Structure 1
């Protein structure tokens, strides 16, 4: 029961492995939908599971189970969004779903890992599965292959740096268990070696979160990978990255001034770079890539507060980020007829061609910009409030200024949808399935903005 979600995802991946080696190819889309929904139910059933395995290296508690539920929810949305789209070569679709399942399995293992070796193994299971699916886009181009190589190259570098930091932690504390490291590390935190070890260890998760200066891969991957693959990479792995950043950041508690200063600088640079460069982007996916870099800086504000409420606000913001980002990417998926990239100009007249799509994009963009009454506004309010309570006024001001900057390019998406005349008059007819997903994403983003306290109560209990 404790590892029900993990075992089920392993089963999920094995099913598609058997499909891939079978003589006749089957229609995998119905199987993927049904099996992913069963996986979500299995994850929710085990939400109250508690315990530890493998001599304490694998911890199952409310914190890990909440993140597993969010990760599984993200996988379900991505699979339902794909829905018979001709983005992936037919002969690779079984392998595509297999690697999606394995990547999600690695992320679930990651949020429960409380020992350095298990953290490294879980991260690699997730990462290498994603390296494999990035090139699986119909009609490969040079840009796509270049993007997949960049992802692999930067991923390998960040993993190497992370392992280097873990080696320092082991050398100082003579243990790979986070609980033992927390006891032995404080006497080293007033020395450069202690801070360096923690920061280097966090590097692998900075990469997943596309936080400055480990953001270089993000815009190219978003633009080069298929729309569905980009949707997954832009949302689900970031949840697990935040979970592990919280676990690693607790090693520096009580808040070490030098460590907090490093996080403040990284947060400020990430927000500023992402928003300024996002202003000039013409490709919607590339714009959302720079948006993700900026939002990594926002979520770091909750972690650097080094408090229970700060961590709870970071979890809340990532939950909202999952749904509002899925909303934007779903519009891109539905506008892309043959899996091609969508430019900002392609949004012209969307309100006349598909009113529901335009409204989904508007709600998601308003939320990303932090405009009430969306979840993005409430999430930013929690992050800014908790950072301010801990005396980090400078980063709150920088965050507020960056929020204003981001409004320009988010609202430009809405302006193109509602104010420009469409280049063509063809309407976009949505199926019942597509309409239901749009309504669900709109509801989740607005509900989390208007009624946040039930979620916050759960997230406080988790941390």
Structure 2
């Protein structure tokens, strides 16, 4: 029987090997195939994670929870890493940099640490590793103006400070900030303040409205880097929130209701901003704000993990596919004219957009169905407001897909797309279609994931 941490060990070895090769080849390391090596290397831990998915193996480590919930997230994060490494491999050879590939792998590892964590300090460390790796990668690539960089740094520093203060308040109460100890602790004024600070800090990292101010300026980044920030910087924070609400903060009965309110606010704001948006890269950020809001509603309704897992899976796959599409010079949807030049790629882009819209028979429809069923059991008023938001989301992304299909042909065709980027776009669209046509197995697997090990 394989060790439950085999994928993590393989990922760690890959990080050390690439870092050593990068240091050995410095300064003549550009164009040395690091991105291809990272892509091929990441297939090993992903294969191991897929083989172990659902085996319910125990890690034997006191501060880590290798449970079905974590195994699902492990597969998702490693898949994001593989697809983003493939996009890196599709860049120009002179842009191939070993440090950027290594930072991508470190960001994936940090996300895995914070999701598997059963200790607040380890959760903090995982979030910081991911954020710092993504920040360093963006700074290395340059072309980021000072205002969005400073806003990102400010949000990162504020989130880190709130996390540490919240952890300190919990430590004052019991001296132990492991999840097991916090679950046994009776809520008091100090621990209540600590729980609120933890929730705000994680929402800030997740870019949830009204804490999303640092996301909008980042849309000036290329679609690939923006998706990497959204996928590996935001998605793990939502998983951390689910862990906190279900385990150490389970005694705070008002937090789930507050999460639903924040989720409704985020989804509503994202939908309203998306209605007037024409730039595909900006639509990526608003799409994640919307789906993060839906995920928080699902977590607050405590109807099971499948609804928020499905929403974040749809968001991650669709955003990676659309990130590949932005490299076809189709950032401006109104002027894309992609269907007239490349019908297959236009169809793949529309599949990603329609999955975000929640249109059947794509995976997004299964996610919306699970969410609305959970909210209907929770509260009728919340269900009605959420249903209106679901309709708005459908309008935003169906309209966007219509502009891709029926926009006038651009005066100058874009340059030929590299095969790696085309493959990522088509693969993401194919997964969304196939899992939407036969969703039962995936939904049942996610529904069986217990957030509390």
TM-score normalised to structure 2 length: 0.90
> What corresponds to 2:310 in structure 1?
316
- Offset at 1:70? 0.9
Contact kept? 1:236, 1:322, Cα under 8 Å:
no
2:356 to 368, 378, 400: 368
SS state at 2:118 partner: coil
Q: Aligned runs of 1:290-309 on 2, under 5 Å?
A: 290-307=286-303, 309=304
Whether 1:212 aligns to 2:199 is no
Shift of 1:429: 4.7
- CA deviations 1:115-151 (Å, max 9, x no partner) are 111111111111110110112336x253xx4323222
Contact persistence 1:49–1:62 (CA under 8 A): yes
Residue 226 of structure 2: aligned partner: 230
2:118 alignment counterpart: 114
**Counterpart in 2 of 1:202?**
199
Give 2:19's aligned residue: 17
Q: Deviations over 1:237-271 (max 9, x none)?
A: 43322221111001477685522321122112111
Mapped contact 1:299–1:318 kept (Cα < 8 A): yes
Whether contact under 8 Å (1:352, 1:427) holds in the other structure is no
- Note the 1:54-133 alignment, pairs <5 A: 54=61, 56-86=62-92, 90=95, 93-133=97-137
Deviates more, 1:311-320 or 1:376-385: 311-320
Equivalent in the alignment of 2:393? 406
Name the CA distance, whole Å, in 2 between partners of 1:386 and 1:197.
Answer: 28
Distance 1:457 1:125, change over 3 A: same
Any conservation in 1 of the 2:76–2:313 contact (CA below 8 Å)? yes
Structure 1: which 5+ runs fail to align? 337-341
- Tell me by how many angstroms 1:49 deviates: 6.2
Provide the residue aligned with 2:366 in structure 1: 378
Distance in 2 of aligned mates of 1:371 and 1:161 = 39
Matches within 5 A, 1:239-254: 239-251=235-247
Q: Deviations over 1:163-219 (max 9, x none)?
A: 2222222223432111121122xx32xx66544322321233323321122211112
1:153 aligns with 154
Q: Which segment drifts farther, 3-12 or 111-120?
A: 3-12
Q: Which runs of 5+ in 2 are unaligned?
A: none
| CA RMSD of superposed structures (Å) | 2.4
> Is residue 279–residue 409 contact of structure 1 (8 Å, CA) maintained in 2?
yes
Count of aligned pairs: 443
Per-residue CA shift, 1:418-457, capped at 9, x if unaligned? 2222122637655655444333222211222222221122
TM value normalised by structure 1: 0.88
2:139 is paired with a residue whose SS is: coil
